[in-house]
Amino acid sequence: MPPQISPPTRNRTGPLFHGRCAFSNPSGEIGCFIYKRHWKRVFHVVRQKNLGLLIRRGKMLNDVLERITREKIIAVIRTENADQAVKTVQAVMEGGVCIFEISYTIPDAQDVIRELMKERNILVGAGTVLTLREARSAIGLGCHFVASPVGNLEMVPVCRDGNVACILGASTPSEIYTAMRGGANMVKVFPVDALGGPDYIDEILKPLPFLKIIPAGVKSYDSFKEYLSIGVEAIALGSLLTPRKHVESQNYEAITREAKKFSSLRDDLLRKAA
């Protein structure tokens, strides 16, 4: 049985409330898609009085993208179990980082996302998403973005329909450009330090400054500082922010200290650049 996003509803505004995105059909009518049985998409014309809600939905997506660009740090959470994931997120939050990518490699990752969506003032996304089923599942949980380590362009319309940010993976300039041209909102370059680090990203951005790049696989504090100075959209931090030894030993105070170190450096550099 496919995962449920949001069941059909008798409320004519239902698709809007469940995050569907706006489209125009050949007749020029504005509407959105409803998923029926067997994932059949049905175009639903939006009545005039509900267009304001549709506009707000689009603004919500823009707000997510702007916040990612503004806050710069995405904490990639990849733990052995759901309990570790939730506690790690809480520790990182105390350190001043509020954007989280929950890896689908975590057992019961959906439960983690569902729990975190209760929190206010944080962004929660699904990470290591490889299939359309996983993407739809994450969207159904209400997450703010879907991130994949690969450049699966089929995820773009799924995310667009769900009105969530789509972050695809790439390694080369051609792959990054193809992902952006294919509709990805941002592109995660992975494993960035193994590919050449800050110098590699800097060389890509010189001729292609319009690319919205998120370095992932950052291995050192110095690299983190250099990426910030280059002007990337954001930086995805995994084990550098949440060392495995601290997670396994449940040393969450140490994780909070690491998060404070990175968030303080971010704040200082952005303040100087302003």
pLDDT of residue 13: 39
Provide the residue count of the chain. Answer: 274
Considering the domain architecture, whether residues 29 and 134 belong to the same structural domain is answered as: no
pLDDT of residue 51: 47
Q: Is 138 within a domain?
A: yes
Considering the domain architecture, whether residues 81 and 144 belong to the same structural domain is answered as: yes
pTM of the model: 0.81
Q: Which of 23, 39, 56 is the last residue of a domain?
A: 56
Considering the domain architecture, whether residues 65 and 198 belong to the same structural domain is answered as: yes
The domain in which residue 43 lies consists of: 14-56
Q: Find out whether 125 and 101 touch, Cβ atoms under 8 Å.
A: yes
Considering the domain architecture, whether residues 27 and 64 belong to the same structural domain is answered as: no
Q: Is 7 within a domain?
A: no
Q: Is 9 within a domain?
A: no
* Structure-token match 């699966």, residue found: 152
Considering the domain architecture, whether residues 39 and 147 belong to the same structural domain is answered as: no
Q: Using H for helix, E for strand and C for coil, what is the string for the chain? A: CCCCCCCCCCCCCHHHHCCCCCEECCCCCEEEEEECHHHCEEEEECCHHHHHHHHHHHHHHHHHHHHHHHHCEEEEECCCCHHHHHHHHHHHHHCCCCEEEEECCCCCHHHHHHHHCCCCCCEEEEECCCCHHHHHHHHHCCCCEEECCCCCCCHHHHHHHHCCEEEEEECCHHHHHHHHHCCCCEEEECCHHHHCHHHHHHHHHCCCCCCCEEEECCCCHHHHHHHHHHCCCCEEECCCCCCHHHHHCCCHHHHHHHHHHHHHHHHHHHHHHC
Q: Count of domains in the chain?
A: 2
Considering the domain architecture, whether residues 113 and 184 belong to the same structural domain is answered as: yes
Considering the domain architecture, whether residues 148 and 163 belong to the same structural domain is answered as: yes
Which of 149, 190, 195 has the alpha carbon at shortest distance from 168? 149
Q: Is 6 within a domain?
A: no
Considering the domain architecture, whether residues 40 and 66 belong to the same structural domain is answered as: no
Considering the domain architecture, whether residues 95 and 69 belong to the same structural domain is answered as: yes
Q: Which of 5, 39, 56 is the last residue of a domain?
A: 56
Q: Dihedral angle at the C-alpha atoms of 102, 157, 168, 230, nearest 10 degrees?
A: -110
Considering the domain architecture, whether residues 28 and 101 belong to the same structural domain is answered as: no
Q: Is 235 within a domain?
A: yes
pLDDT of residue 57: 53
Alpha-carbon span 36 to 29, nearest angstrom: 20
| pLDDT tens across the length of the chain (274 residues) | 433 333 333 333 344 444 444 444 555 555 555 555 555 555 555 555 444 544 445 568 999 999 999 999 999 999 999 999 999 999 999 999 999 999 999 999 999 999 999 998 999 999 999 999 999 999 999 999 999 999 999 999 999 989 999 999 999 999 999 999 999 999 999 999 999 999 999 999 999 999 999 999 999 999 999 999 998 999 999 999 999 999 999 999 999 999 999 999 999 988 887 7
Considering the domain architecture, whether residues 69 and 43 belong to the same structural domain is answered as: no
Q: Is 200 within a domain?
A: yes
Considering the domain architecture, whether residues 47 and 114 belong to the same structural domain is answered as: no
pLDDT of residue 273: 79
Q: Is 4 within a domain?
A: no
pLDDT of residue 159: 95
Tokens of 198: 């800050």
Q: Is 114 within a domain?
A: yes
The CATH code of the domain that includes 232 is 3.20.20.70
